[in-house]
Amino acid sequence: MKKSKPRYRAGSIADGQKFMAIPLLLWSIMFILLPLAVVLYNAFLDPSGGFSLDAFRKVFSSDGIYLHLLLSSLWLAVESTLICLLLGYPLAYILSRHASASVMILVFILPMWMNFLLRTYSWLAILGKNGILNSLFSLIGLPGINILNTRPAVVLGMIYNFLPFMVLPIYNSLNKIDPSLIEASGDLGASEGKTFLKVVLPLSIPGVYSGISMVFLPAVTTFVIPSLLGGGKVDMIGNIIESQFLKTNNWAFGSALSLILMVLIFAFMKATSKYNTEENERGGLI
Amino acid sequence: MKKFLSALGAFLSRFYMIIIFIFLYAPIILLMVFSFNEGRSTSVFTGFSLRWYVELFHDSQIMDALYYTVLTAVVSSLVAAVVGTISAIGISRLKGWQRNSMVNVANLPIINPDILTGVSLMLLFILMKMPLGLGTMMIAHITFNIPYVILSVLPHMRQMDPHLYEAAMDLGASPSQAFFKVIIPELMPGIISGTLLAFTMSIDDFIISFFTTGNGISNLSIVVYSMAKRGIKPSINALSTIMFLTVLILLVVVNLIGKSGRKAKKPSRQPVRSLI
């Protein structure tokens, strides 16, 4: 006869709770992993049902249309991210030192509660040939501009939509800096500029990294902004993927492009992961 | 001189902040102003009228889309709240590679581009011969909402004393009492913020819904996208104005209540996450 066990061991109940992850496991297999497997399968499928590398060959083909498109999408996203960083860091800094910072942040994220397609669409009325901006320009005697349906309009749309994703993580990391560190730096004789460069900036780098990934990732994959503000003239990789599935029905090519996009994103995540601790990943979103 | 410089700095900061705020608010204010326009144009204001607000309630396309948007957001965020909370408890008891791989897989819908999530689910549904429509859109929303709840609940799980559950049982609680009266209340702030986040993600989603719906079932984003080519009906502006003002009023009320309750405490430099 075994020794009578206590009703439970410390931790044994907690161990039993790990089975609560099973529903998630099943759901994830069914609706996350299996769909990705289907994309993978489709990418290597030829129309007759056999194995083929044609889709990938098409992407990297010698005429280079799609490779060029891929690179120009990446470049457009990089450009937008950099401008967001240049605009967003000073703003985050100003906000973090503002007397009523929490109210200002609220005012800052409020626009995100309006449907983003509609907000983006609204730029058409501002940027259009007879739009608000040109009317204002002609009032003060400036020549009109016509950037709608061009690359700059798409970049502007990206900045407009994604700037908060850059500002919030940076603001959070600036906010976490212990004010006594800044005082100490001043007490030890550093000028304000030096304190910023040597204390504040290095401590805010995690926020910068998290902001960069939160802007770059949606920017490189969007097809809505180029489609609304680029008027079909500024295609990004997302637009090509969309049309493969919904217009030309070339699933193999669309799947191949999607997989390439995914690989690029994981490479990017890997490169920036050093700074993306769990805490930072959340920081920006909520 | 020093005084002058700091005054200049303060002026420049304020100026910069106002410029950015104008940039962010211009499209929204424009949209609201033109919801009161008599005519159809979105750049020439011809006169004040409530015409689009009246038409909004007779527009079955928009009203249906509103219904499906809200239905999807409510159901998917509630399902995600339940599944996500249970999963977070489960995950927090896992260790090593099991935990890492579970967290990584569960987070895929957040990390993956929306277009890939949308396309991959669409292909799966077609392969399984599931007709695209409300059901498939709902599954897709639940899938991308679950990780938001998990991410919000996990930190609370970590902060909780691991022996709390056992202590409750030592004090005579049944396992289900210990769970519902001790564990869940501890996690409640995380569950609520995760569910709210999931809800807003679902309300605002376009790309994933766009690929996973069908059969004439559209949410508001899809309606806006399909209208964009022909010109958007100002009724949509009217609807957005109503929704935006509702959120604004709710936020102001919540903040006022919060403030009066916290008056005694020192003004805290709270992180952004407490705001939503």
pLDDT tens digits, A179-234: 899 889 989 988 888 889 999 999 999 999 999 999 999 999 999 999 999 988 88
* DSSP states of B149-201: HHHHHHHHHHHS-TTHHHHHHHTT--HHHIIIIIIHHHHHHHHHHHHHHHHHH
Residue B276: pLDDT above 80?
no
Mean pLDDT of chain B, nearest integer: 88
Give the CA diameter of chain B.
75
Cβ separation of B116 and A258 shorter than 8 Å?
Answer: yes
Q: Are B110 and A35 in contact (CB under 8 A)?
A: no
- B230 and chain A: CB distance < 8 Å anywhere? no
Mean pLDDT value across residues A6-10? 48
Residues of A in contact with B124 (CB under 8 A): 31, 34-35, 38
Q: Are A201 and A214 in contact (CB under 8 A)?
A: no
Which pLDDT score is estimated for A12? 57
**B 158-197 near A (Cβ less than 8 A):** 162-163, 165-166, 169, 175, 193, 197
Nearest to B206 among A25, A106, A224 (CB): A224
Residues of A in contact with B27 (CB under 8 A): 119-120, 122-123, 126, 160
Residue of A nearest to B222 (CA): A117
Give the CA diameter of chain A.
99
Mean pLDDT value across residues B194-206? 92
Cβ separation of B26 and A126 shorter than 8 Å?
Answer: yes
Cβ separation of A20 and B87 shorter than 8 Å?
Answer: yes
Nearest to B17 among A94, A113, A221 (CB): A94
- B39 and chain A: CB distance < 8 Å anywhere? no
Strand ranges (E), B35-130? none
Mean pLDDT value across residues B49-74? 94
Dig out the tokens for B262 from the structure: 């916290």
ipTM of the complex: 0.85
pLDDT tens digits, B217-244: 999 999 999 988 888 888 999 999 998 8
CA distance B41 to chain A (A): 9
Residue among A39, A45, A34 at smallest CA distance from A258: A39
Domains of chain B: 23-59+234-258 (no CATH), 61-232 (1.10.3720.10)
Q: B130 exposed, middle or buried (CB, 10 Å; 0-12, 13-18, 19+)? A: middle
Which pLDDT score is estimated for B102? 92
Taking residue A111's Cβ as centre, other Cβ atoms within 10 Å add up to: 22
Cβ separation of B113 and A269 shorter than 8 Å?
Answer: no
> Is the CATH number of domain A73-250+260-283 1.10.1660.10?
no
Mean pLDDT value across residues B154-159? 88
Residues of A in contact with B248 (CB under 8 A): 110
Residues of A in contact with B162 (CB under 8 A): 11, 14
Maximum mean pLDDT: which of A120-134, A218-232, B127-141: B127-141
Mean pLDDT value across residues B119-142? 96
- Could you tell me which residue, A8 or A179, shows the higher pLDDT? A179
At A11, the pLDDT band (50, 70, 90 cuts) reads low
At A137, the pLDDT band (50, 70, 90 cuts) reads confident
Residue B134: pLDDT above 90?
yes
Sign of CA dihedral B14, B15, B21, B26: positive
Residue B165: pLDDT above 50?
yes
Distance CA A142, CA B43 (A): 19
